[in-house]
Structure 1
Amino acid sequence: MADVTASSPPASQPLAGRVAIVTGASRHRHPPVRARRQRRASRAAEAESLAAELPRSAAVRADVADEAAVRSLFDAAERAFSAAPHILVACAGVMRADAPLAATSAADFDAMYAGANTRGAFLCLREAANRLRRGGGGRIVAVTSSAVASLPPGFTAYAGSKAAVEAMVRGMAKELKGTRVTANCVAPGPVATDMFLAGDSADERVRRAVEVNPMGRLGEVGDVAPVVGFLCTDAAEWINGQVIRVNGGYVT
């Protein structure tokens, strides 16, 4: 599932007049991200029933691992708002964890690498790079994971799928020289999302995450949203090709 968002006047708001594509958003995973975009004068086009709750909204269902579907997603955004997209926030992903690499099935590996995490991110990043540069510039933000740096046991395959995204974004930031398009990653630590809290071992996973975090708690999506929101603004132009870890000091 992918969301398409667009903003509205007044022009004094940081994201006024911008069209943003947000992949992987849902009611349960990213509500503070949506709320922050609304406070920044964005009009969100949310998935499924959320579309009915917001003005000028257009829901788009897309499999980000499908090349044609990703092109159609960007086309839908342009048709819905009569403007080229200015922002991509690539959040879509799946987590197949709680198993060491030696016990990771090929099916779980493919779900992450051939699915949303790596292939899906590649297709969205590539499409955004071409569309945003034609539109005169913009912002690309990929949501990865602090697991890339911490490599906790049981998350090795997942961390690898996100490490590939970080490498693509850092390289792409250099390749987009002269286009006024910036590309960055936000790498959250353990956050209370549906994905992290799923599965029979969720309670133990949460206990371990809280135990090792200097803040003594699990992260909330609202801890991450302000960083993503800022990177989408004009004020963030000098931040490019970076991986920003947002994890309460869990890993530095």
Structure 2
Amino acid sequence: MGLWGETVGRTVGTLWSPQFRAVSGLRHARAVHAEGICLQAEVIPVRTDPPFTAVAERLGGPALVRLSTATWRGGREWPDILGAAVRFRRDQHISEEASPGDQDVLCATLRHTWTLLPALLTTHVRDWLQNDYYGLAPFTVQGLGRAKLRLTSPRGPRRQGSRVRRLLDAMHEGQALLTFEVFPLEHGLPRTWTPLADIFLREEVTLNPARLRFNPFRDGLGIRPRGFLHATRLPAYRQSQKGRVEH
């Protein structure tokens, strides 16, 4: 669709955005992914070949990760979509505010919007680390062109307790890990998922949810959403954030 599709997407998103603002106001929180846990993380590039090398090296350093539920709050582990938002940071200090050059990537446990209902049944809602998270629609990645993105988990041992307890135990054992992968869509590049970086989740951090705002269009590392679906998100995100600050 190109630029025309993105223009249509922004128009559709603008039409939807008042509903997102209203829901955020009623919940006093995000319209979706309202409840989550924030984590300090370390990103280590995976050894790979050109042209992936330069992209992987850009990702290395500190990161802020927010793992969340899409719908339910209060720790309810009911059928849902889980989310994983990553802020690749240039600054070691973790705070709610983004720094110049930061990169946000937002993913969820569904491959496409039309797989929403199956994903509600296949998402392992009791353990964030038993799922893979997808970027839903293509991105433009500097050095690679158009590509799909995802975060994969190593599917480690099944632990006991709540979703949060399992995550904290995995971090304590040094086994809390997500791998950032890319699937190129350009001619001449391998059509396969290629690991770029391992994201080691180190410890929980307490941040103000009203001030923490991930933005899928924050593209300091050259990863930018493209196409109709991503374009619908920009006005919806803006109105959802306005709804949150009104309370």
* TM-score calculated relative to the size of structure 1: 0.24
- TM-score when normalising by structure 2: 0.24
Comparing both structures, which one devotes a greater share of its residues to strand? 2
More RCO (CA 8 Å, sep 6+):
2
